[in-house]
């Protein structure tokens, strides 16, 4: 069994490493240093832009994720459940749709400036400005990604437990000081992990940055690859990006290992701080991220969908929704099954696989989707030329392979943390009672971790519903999804006409997030 688990892990690692290796081997002339030295200005500029954009996005997502999480975790107030749920919903809107929507909302012909011109004309000249800037993009991305910080802080704040808070109160600290001096330092590792996820998303962003005219490292990779036709240099730049991400990852892991915090197992979580307070203050803190992260773009898209409802072909839309949902369901199921198997063997046989899995799943998450897709195409043609005569390009097999590499990291965390929490003696007793491996998995691991598995499944599902660059390039003939159709309209500057498709994506993702929320609440 242990060998079986290791074999599956090796296979997974191979699935991740092979495309990257073929990408690099295929371009042996790759030398990141030379690539950078050739054009130091361009490299420094895009590097600085990326850093600046990252800073704004991370800052915005911390501000709008952290403080609301504090209120929702530690106080009871009216509409708390609703507010808590709404805080997750920005995840239901793909970032490129969010960016295009804000581009339109803020433009001179958009609803914001139109409202000012019609109702507050005195103010309108002050707001007639250029909104397609790196700062606005940073904020839009921050509003789109703050739920990562919110979710991580929520969990961490809830786990801190009664003793720390009591102690801090006894030592005379008020709520504000308790937050900054006790809760925040204790939650840093969780927040740092969330910031890492936010950074990954920003580094991968392509559509939104291009639209806002911001040259980042990723846009530079694509320019080098496509416009300059210099695959070697593009691969070189991708390697630099990968190394940067891995450095960030190692830093995050090291920091978290150093500051291992004893969350006080079994402490009473429902502590006295959880008093009922007036809803004004918490809602005030939550209203901005909810409005900007979900309500405004959602209303804008809804209005467009209603305006254009006559131009929609119901049957076509239904078939697109079916394609998106079935492919996402299938792929998430596969990802969760494989992860469950590896982590089960890891726990049961102390196979020490999870660390290796951590690193490799992060590599997949760190690569820009389009680079990953192209490396899979190169890999498939190498396999076809040298090993078998079957070509996988243009099959669902390759598409799901790409999804698997990219989204393994998303599914891994909930399953891992749930399996980690299982006491060792539980499976010992089960084994003594005569349960085999299959029985253990079926009768012990599956029921005990079913919520984590479902959470992982739904989180992958949400990300897959939104996925665009890999689906575009790897999909089979005549296969469209809601995301690819939305993109086609966006490229032709007809975002309005894609709003029904965006709306379905948002609806399906919101329902999935609602289920995730319910599961974890219960």
Partner 1 sequence: MKNLPLYILIICSLCGCNNKQSDIVNLYSQRHYKVDEIQYEKFTALTGIKVNVVKSNADELIERLKNEGADSQADIFISVDAGKLQKAASLDLLQKLSDDIKTNEIPSTLLDKNNLWVPLTYRARILVYSNDRVNVTELDSYESLSDEKWKNRILVRSSSNAYNQALMASVIANNGIDGAKKWSQGVVENLARSPKGNDRDQVKAIYAGLGDVAIVNSYYIGLLLSSEKDEEQKAGEAVSVFFPNQGENQTGTHINISGLGIAKNAPNLENAIKLINYLLSEEAQKTYVRNSYEYSVNKNVMPSEIVQKWGDFRIDSLDLNNLGIFRKDAIEVFETTNWK
> Where does this chain bind partner 1 (CB under 8 A)?
39, 41-42, 103, 107-110, 113-114, 128-130, 132, 210-213, 215, 219, 222-223, 225-229, 307-308, 330, 333-334, 337-338, 370, 373-374, 377-378, 380-381, 384-385, 391-400, 472-473, 475-480, 484, 488, 491-494, 496
Residue 169 beta carbon to partner 1: minimum distance, rounded to whole angstroms:
51
Write down the residue that tokens 């992990």 correspond to. 193
Residue 373 beta carbon to partner 1: minimum distance, rounded to whole angstroms:
8
Q: Which of 469, 54, 17, 409 is nearest to 221 (CA)?
A: 469
Residue 315 beta carbon to partner 1: minimum distance, rounded to whole angstroms:
13
What does the angle CA 262 – CA 177 – CA 260 come to, to the nearest 5 degrees? 20
| C-alpha neighbours within 13 Å on the C-beta side of residue 456 | 29
Classify 478 in phi/psi space as left (phi over 0), alpha (psi -120 to 50) or beta.
Answer: left
Residue 481 beta carbon to partner 1: minimum distance, rounded to whole angstroms:
12
Closest CB to partner 1 among 168 and 215? Answer: 215
Distance CA 35, CA 25 (A): 16
Residue 438 beta carbon to partner 1: minimum distance, rounded to whole angstroms:
9
C-beta separation of 212 from 131 below 8 A:
no
- The DSSP letter of residue 133 is S
DSSP 49-104: HHHHHHHHHHHHHHHHHHHHHHHHHH-B-TTHHHHHHHTTGGGGS-HHHHHHHHHH
Closest CB to partner 1 among 265 and 493? Answer: 493
Residue 3 beta carbon to partner 1: minimum distance, rounded to whole angstroms:
17
Closest CB to partner 1 among 272 and 391? Answer: 391
427 C-beta neighbours (distance < 10 Å), count: 18
Closest CB to partner 1 among 248 and 495? Answer: 495
Residue 418 beta carbon to partner 1: minimum distance, rounded to whole angstroms:
21
Residue 414 beta carbon to partner 1: minimum distance, rounded to whole angstroms:
20
Closest CB to partner 1 among 3 and 333? Answer: 333
Closest CB to partner 1 among 39 and 264? Answer: 39
Distance CA 353, CA 140 (A): 38
Residue 200 beta carbon to partner 1: minimum distance, rounded to whole angstroms:
22
- Helix, strand and coil in the chain, % to nearest 5: 80, 0, 20
Write down the residue that tokens 């910080």 correspond to. 149
Distance CA 522, CA 73 (A): 15
33 C-beta neighbours (distance < 10 Å), count: 9
Closest CB to partner 1 among 182 and 379? Answer: 379
- CA-to-CA dists, residue 430 to 1, 32, 121, 436, 443, angstroms: 17, 53, 73, 9, 9
Residue 296 in tokens: 């405004």
Residue 433 beta carbon to partner 1: minimum distance, rounded to whole angstroms:
23
Distance CA 333, CA 351 (A): 24
Closest CB to partner 1 among 233 and 465? Answer: 233
Residue 413 beta carbon to partner 1: minimum distance, rounded to whole angstroms:
21
Closest CB to partner 1 among 11 and 243? Answer: 11
Closest CB to partner 1 among 47 and 394? Answer: 394
Within the chain, what is the greatest distance between any pair of CA atoms? 80
Closest CB to partner 1 among 5 and 147? Answer: 5
What does the angle CA 203 – CA 208 – CA 213 come to, to the nearest 5 degrees? 100
What are the backbone angles phi and psi of residue 76, rounded to the nearest 5°?
-100, 135
- Residue 493, Cα to own-chain centre: how many angstroms? 26
Write down the residue that tokens 């696989």 correspond to. 353
């Amino acid at each position: 069994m242990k060998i079986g688990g290791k074999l599956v892990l090796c296979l997974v690692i191979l699935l991740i490493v092979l495309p990257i290796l073929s990408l690099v081997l295929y371009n042996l002339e790759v030398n990141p240093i030379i690539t950078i030295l050739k054009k130091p200005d361009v490299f420094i500029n895009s590097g600085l832009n990326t850093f600046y954009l990252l800073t704004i996005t991370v800052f915005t997502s911390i501000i709008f994720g952290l403080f609301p999480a504090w209120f929702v975790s530690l106080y009871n107030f009216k509409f708390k459940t609703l507010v808590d749920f709404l805080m997750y919903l920005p995840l239901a809107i793909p970032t490129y749709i969010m960016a295009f929507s804000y581009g339109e909302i803020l433009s001179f012909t958009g609803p914001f400036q139109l409202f000012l011109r019609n109702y507050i004309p005195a103010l309108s000249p002050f707001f007639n400005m250029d909104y397609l800037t790196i700062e606005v993009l940073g904020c839009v991305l921050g509003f789109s990604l703050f739920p990562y910080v919110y979710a991580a802080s929520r969990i961490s704040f809830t786990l801190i437990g009664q003793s720390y808070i009591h102690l801090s109160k006894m030592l005379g600290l008020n709520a504000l000081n308790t937050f900054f001096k006790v809760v925040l330092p204790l939650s840093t590792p969780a927040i740092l992990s969330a910031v890492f996820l936010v950074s990954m998303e920003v580094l991968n962003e392509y559509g939104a940055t291009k639209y806002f005219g911001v040259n980042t490292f990723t846009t530079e990779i694509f320019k080098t690859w496509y416009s300059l036709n210099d695959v070697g240099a593009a691969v070189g730049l991708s390697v630099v990006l990968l190394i940067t991400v891995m450095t960030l990852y190692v830093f995050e892991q090291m920091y978290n290992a150093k500051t291992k915090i004893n969350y006080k197992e079994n402490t009473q979580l429902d502590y006295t701080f959880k008093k009922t307070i007036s809803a004004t203050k918490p809602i005030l803190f939550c209203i901005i991220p909810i409005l900007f992260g979900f309500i405004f773009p959602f209303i804008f898209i809804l209005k467009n969908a209603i305006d254009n409802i006559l131009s929609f072909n119901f049957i076509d839309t239904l078939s697109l929704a079916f394609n998106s949902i079935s492919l996402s369901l299938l792929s998430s199921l596969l990802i969760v099954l494989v992860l469950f198997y590896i982590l089960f063997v890891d726990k049961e046989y102390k196979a020490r696989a999870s660390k290796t899995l951590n690193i490799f799943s992060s590599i997949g998450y760190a690569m820009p989707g389009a680079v990953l897709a192209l490396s899979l195409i190169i890999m498939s043609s190498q396999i076809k030329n040298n090993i078998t005569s079957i070509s996988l390009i243009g099959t669902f097999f390759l598409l799901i392979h790409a999804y698997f590499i990219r989204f393994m990291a998303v599914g891994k965390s909930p399953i891992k943390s749930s399996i980690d929490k299982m006491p060792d003696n539980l499976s010992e007793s089960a084994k003594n009672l005569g349960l085999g491996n299959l029985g253990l998995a079926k009768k012990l691991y599956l029921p005990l971790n079913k919520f984590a598995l479902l959470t992982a499944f739904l989180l992958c599902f949400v990300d897959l519903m939104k996925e665009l660059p890999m689906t575009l390039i790897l999909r089979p003939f005549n296969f469209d999804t809601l995301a690819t159709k939305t993109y086609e309209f966006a490229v032709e500057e007809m975002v309005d006409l894609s709003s029904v498709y965006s709306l379905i994506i948002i609806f399906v993702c919101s329902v999935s997030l609602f289920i995730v929320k319910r599961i974890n609440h219960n």
